Amino acid sequence: MTHLLEVRDLVTKFYTEQGVVNAVNGISYTLDEGESIAIVGESGSGKSVGVLSIMGLIPSPPGRVDSGEALFNGRNLIGLSHDELRHIRGREMAMVFQDPMTSLNPVLTVGYQLTEALKLHLGMDDNQAKKRAAEMLELVGIPNPVKRLDDYPHQFSGGQRQRVMIAMALSCNPSLLIADEPTTALDVTIQAQIVELVKQLQEKLGMAIIWITHDLALVAGMVDKVAVMYAGYIVEQAPVHDLYKRPLHPYTLGLLHSMPKLDAKEQTRLASIDGLPPDLRQNFNYCPFAPRCPYAIDKCKQENPALMAAGPNRVSACWRWEDLREETGFGVNA
């Protein structure tokens, strides 16, 4: 079976003056048509570099995709020329970033920016493109869409700019939408609006989604599966229900326990994860989470666990995943 996207053993490094940063250390995942995956992890864990690598957007130098494949509709994106990638980006796959101002040009009207892409990728003429652009703004819930085409990005609120970005990303009907922390800079209320919008759009348009976030709570209700990243590795991947019910990696478990429960009357002390994430300028010949892991055993300090099958459709990079499964009362919601 061919997948819409199949990422295999992707390795991306930054060759900086301070040393080689091992940003992405061999990540693999697949995504089918219309499927959604969340990539979760704290800052610096390699989430953005992972997707920028498949889109050919790694600044080089200092960055380089050293090995691995990203098969999109069966075609390997790694190593494609800039022109080929530009054609795929924006048309077949599109991206929404955390800060819309970095991808919206402040001196051009929103209408201009929306119609350019339509003309470039879909060969529409002025009128067709304008009509479609207004439809897209309407689709993402911007009032007075025709009038607002003449406005500049700064005339929109933060939440509206993110909507404009989504409109732009979806205007050419891509089969894959990559959203890199698109709501992190927004208020919870606006975040909820955007999440709801993307869910509706996915139902309507059927695109596959990669949603990157540091917030495990945010994606619980919106994706099919979750990959948790730590220190440039995917350390656990599972269907969404399984992951929250029974995490099989101590880092996932730690993240879930360090979040206060909204509905719990009696709050128990937050279980914090001690220590700090590691410096990525090293080769891990031990489990990268070992220095912070309450479950670490000697083996963890001697050998870096590869991902192991840990049940149907799920993998964990932990020597002790079976012990975690056995431990009673372990599940966060169990």
Partner 1 sequence: MSQENGKETFIQVRNLKKHFPIMRGVFRRQVGAVKAVDGVSFDIYKGETLGLVGESGCGKSTTGRSILQLLTPTEGEVLFDGRDLTKLGQSELRKSRRHMQMIFQDPYASLNPRMTVGNIIGEPLEIHNIGDAKSRKDRVKELLKIVGLNPYFINRYPHEFSGGQRQRIGVARALATNPDFIVADEPISALDVSIQAQVVNLLDDLKDDLGLTYLFIAHDLSMIRYISDRVAVMYLGKIVELSDKDTVFDHSLHPYTQALLSAIPIPDPEKEEKRQRLILEGGVPSPANPPSGCNFHPRCSYATDICSQTDPEFRNLGTDSRPHFVACHHAEQFK
Structure tokens at 332: 């966060």
State the minimum distance, in angstroms, from the CB of residue 268 to ligand ADP: 29
Structure tokens at 103: 């991808």
Q: From partner 1, ligand SF4, ligand ADP, none, which one binds at residue 100 (CB under 5 to 8 Å depending on kind)?
A: none
DSSP β-bridge partners for residue 95: 178
Cα separation of 267 and 256, whole Å?
A: 14
Window 262-301: residues binding ligand ADP (CB under 6 A): 280
- Residue given tokens 């689709």 in the structure block: 139
Structure tokens at 56: 């050919």
E strands, 135-257, in order: 176-180, 208-213, 225-230, 233-239
Among 48, 175, 193, 213, binds Mg ion (CB under 5 A): 48
CA atoms within 13 A on the CB side of 254: 20
Cα separation of 231 and 22, whole Å?
A: 8
| Residue count, binding to Mg ion (CB under 5 A) | 1
DSSP β-bridge partners for residue 268: none
196 is a contact residue toward partner 1 (CB under 8 A): yes
State the minimum distance, in angstroms, from the CB of residue 8 to Mg ion: 22
| Residue count, binding to ligand ADP (CB under 6 A) | 16
256 is a contact residue toward partner 1 (CB under 8 A): yes
Of the ranges 13-21, 68-76, 192-200, 309-317, which one interacts with ligand ADP (CB under 6 A)? 13-21
314 is a contact residue toward ligand SF4 (CB under 6 A): no
* β-bridge pairing 225-230 and 36-40: parallel
State the minimum distance, in angstroms, from the CB of residue 169 to ligand SF4: 35
Q: Alpha helix locations (H) across 17-157?
A: 47-55, 82-88, 100-103, 110-122, 126-139, 145-148
Cα separation of 117 and 136, whole Å?
A: 12
Nearer to partner 1, 49 or 118 (CB): 49
Of 115, 143, 147, the residue nearest 129 (C-alpha)? 115
Q: From Mg ion, partner 1, ligand ADP, none, which one binds at residue 23 (CB under 5 to 8 Å depending on kind)?
A: ligand ADP
250 is a contact residue toward ligand SF4 (CB under 6 A): yes
Could you count the other beta carbons within 10 Å of the beta carbon of residue 245? 14
Nearer to ligand SF4, 139 or 228 (CB): 228
Q: Which amino acid is at 229?
A: M
Nearer to ligand SF4, 156 or 289 (CB): 289
Nearer to ligand ADP, 102 or 189 (CB): 102
256 is a contact residue toward ligand SF4 (CB under 6 A): no
* DSSP annotation string for 25-58: EEEEEEE-TT-EEEEE--TTSSHHHHHHHHHT--
Q: From ligand ADP, partner 1, ligand SF4, none, which one binds at residue 187 (CB under 5 to 8 Å depending on kind)?
A: partner 1
The 277-296 site mask, x for binding ligand SF4 (CB under 6 A), equals ----------x-xx--x-xx
Residue 247 neighbours by CB under 8 Å, 6+ apart: 236, 253, 256, 324, 331, 332
Q: From ligand SF4, partner 1, Mg ion, none, which one binds at residue 222 (CB under 5 to 8 Å depending on kind)?
A: partner 1
Rounded to 10 degrees, the C-alpha dihedral 153/155/156/158 comes to: 80
Q: From partner 1, ligand SF4, Mg ion, none, which one binds at residue 305 (CB under 5 to 8 Å depending on kind)?
A: ligand SF4
97 is a contact residue toward ligand ADP (CB under 6 A): no
Nearer to ligand SF4, 64 or 325 (CB): 325
Contact residues toward ligand SF4 (CB under 6 A) are 249-250, 287, 289-290, 293, 295-296, 300, 305, 318-320
Contact residues toward ligand ADP (CB under 6 A) are 14, 16, 21, 23, 41, 43-49, 59, 62-63, 280
